[in-house]
Structure 1
């Protein structure tokens, strides 16, 4: 039986390939899929085989250039400013426009299910108001407060003992109050416009989903008591459409190949990337650096043992590589583990510190400050390349990643309309 799906997605950079990977899998199963998204995503939506509708009332950027980025989180230093920026640009600022656009799309198409990005609160409440069930995609670890899960954004390990549990309660309580301060009144105002009762906390809107689909392996995340509607459905290992058919070649020789892949969106990463390149230049390795759309290869200086390109299909490169150096985005890490590769992580922000601590706790790599000098980066690369224990730990995570990616649970959950 075929169904109709409306995906309401925001362009989060690394979130796009797994979210559109879910859409592509439904298209391949014969379902009707429409993606309501930003113009910057249109070519990738077409590659997924889905119909595309641009946001009209909601924010909509034409490309992923720094000039077109509304939320410039790399410039923010204080938690208060970060919370306000997330509220204004990601969570509740776009909500009224998202609700208008999703309501119009639902009334035209009457989909069986709305599938939204994690931050698309307006899309969720519009589905609520229209009486259409909605699922939320989380293409990373579980990022909301939950018993046993360390507070997000700080790179913390799970709590140990009474003091650790007290830490979690205090930090989670403070972060929830901070988000609610900037989001909740405006969120409930939009809910009221659609005849919906107020929610007590911001994250209650997300938890109203039929399913919270975590596009990762449970073995990568930390254990916690998650809501009953949360499901670990495995990672989507698709490369972005703009990198799939890109030609590439590694520097000549047989030294270990190191893939360097920082964010596909701008996070002010050029200086960090240059220090990584300088570090590889001092080592008996070969380096392949992919800058992504956010930077130009010509912005960087490379020694003879390092090649810098705009893009390359990471899945192909990883078959030849020994190590991945990354900012700690979930998509890059899970692909590395699926290929049995350990990681050196220079986390920049967002969920990356939390990803990094999961890597180091599992022994699948090491973390280095993003501001670390090239000598420190070189030591980390040498350490991970020369100690096979890191590769063994990465392969253990890779077994789970490959199993879950191939298991089909994501599609099963999206197609499940009766329990």
Structure 2
């Protein structure tokens, strides 16, 4: 039996996609110790893990990009936040390693300091990401802008220029601090911040083609394993037995990004359609909304409990709910607000499993039209669900982890 030390960022959306893999490793006899959000520690311990809370410096950290005026400002806000966490990430993982003496380490892509501590430890280690990665691939537009894949010489020339520009911005906002911490921990400097993805022996990405773009060749250390769709146990979930109509699930982000207008637009758009709108408020106050008779607003509902009853999902474009919807063969309408959501929205459009509506044009009437169009795409969503199953999921990810252990 091996001991595997795991450190997450302070976000449920980064812990939950990993859970099926951690449970699989537990069931294979490994001792899994987890440093994560304080709110999740009791649940993890009840599931047979040894869990402890991140320090207060990390536990209370939140991304503050929601009010950025443009994509460049949003990228700056996110990277500045991740850079500010680096000393805490690094110290936190070093402490966990010293306490547990693990055989292997797993860290979240958004814990830059954790990656540095993992590499400097000399232990086998793996990186995971619950969302798309900023890979600089020759057929792709620059990551983060949500642009369509280009066709033709002019489009490819555009992407080449923009990729250089975005790489420069990543480096401008974070490379100096990343390299200072790497040198402090006895590691060499990187040429680019995104070169962090080249350092781990294994990178586990919780997505799969054809939702993720198909590519001729992937980096050798990258493993696409499909989505991690775990939801926490739902012993005291809301009673939805009174709802007899097909459900349109509307999700607002669990990390604040001021997306209440999405929930209300959906409530208004779907009146009289024969569907019952269920809005999960996420980081918002449910009293923000005016639900009416054909809608229900909740703090939280288990996706496992409600998705089998849904006809469609309307989302802010969070990777978790998007892939869960597609895993159930449900078409989706994405209204992206920020972070990685424009990239998620563009993948939804490109794979043909749903529709996208910009916040700039968000009205009940336009959203109603997008819902109607998306409902006709359920066949494509079913094909994505089958592809996700073939990717291997938690078993594939656990095999990657054990392969690193066996190589040690």
TM-score (norm 1): 0.90
- Displaced runs of 4 or more, over 4 A: none
Are 1:3 and 1:112, in contact at CA under 8 Å, matched by a contact in 2?
yes
Say whether residues 1:350 and 2:339 are aligned partners: yes
Q: Find the residue that maps to 1:322 and give its secondary structure.
A: strand
Q: How many angstroms apart in 2 are the aligned matches of 1:312 and 1:230?
A: 33
Pair 1:365–1:57, CA change in 2 (3 A): closer
Written as runs of structure 1 = structure 2, the 5 A alignment for 1:3-402 is: 3-56=2-55, 59-61=58-60, 70-90=62-82, 92-224=83-215, 225-241=217-233, 243=234, 245-249=236-240, 252-254=243-245, 256-292=246-282, 294-371=283-360, 372-385=362-375, 387=376, 390-402=377-389
Q: Find the residue that maps to 1:235 and give its secondary structure.
A: coil
Q: Find the residue that maps to 2:116 and give its secondary structure.
A: helix
Q: How many angstroms apart in 1 are the aligned matches of 2:242 and 2:365?
A: 22
Deviations along 1:151-172, one digit per CA (max 9) or x if unpaired, are 2222222222222222222111
Are 1:250 and 1:287, in contact at CA under 8 Å, matched by a contact in 2?
no
Q: What's 2:400 paired with?
A: 413
Pair 1:222–1:98, CA change in 2 (3 A): same
Q: How many angstroms apart in 2 are the aligned matches of 1:48 and 1:152?
A: 36
Shift of 1:52: 1.8
Q: How many angstroms apart in 1 are the aligned matches of 2:220 and 2:16?
A: 26
Q: How many angstroms apart in 2 are the aligned matches of 1:168 and 1:351?
A: 18
Q: How many angstroms apart in 2 are the aligned matches of 1:251 and 1:368?
A: 31
Pair 1:168–1:110, CA change in 2 (3 A): farther
Pair 1:288–1:364, CA change in 2 (3 A): same
Are 2:35 and 2:51, in contact at CA under 8 Å, matched by a contact in 1?
yes
Q: How many angstroms apart in 2 are the aligned matches of 1:165 and 1:382?
A: 33
Are 2:210 and 2:351, in contact at CA under 8 Å, matched by a contact in 1?
no
Q: How many angstroms apart in 2 are the aligned matches of 1:382 and 1:291?
A: 23
User: Where in structure 1 are there 5+ consecutive unaligned residues?
Assistant: 62-68
User: Where in structure 2 are there 5+ consecutive unaligned residues?
Assistant: none
- Count of aligned residue pairs for this structure pair: 404
Deviations along 1:121-140, one digit per CA (max 9) or x if unpaired, are 11111122120122111112
Pair 1:146–1:118, CA change in 2 (3 A): same
Are 1:251 and 1:306, in contact at CA under 8 Å, matched by a contact in 2?
no
Are 1:22 and 1:410, in contact at CA under 8 Å, matched by a contact in 2?
yes
Shift of 1:19: 2.1
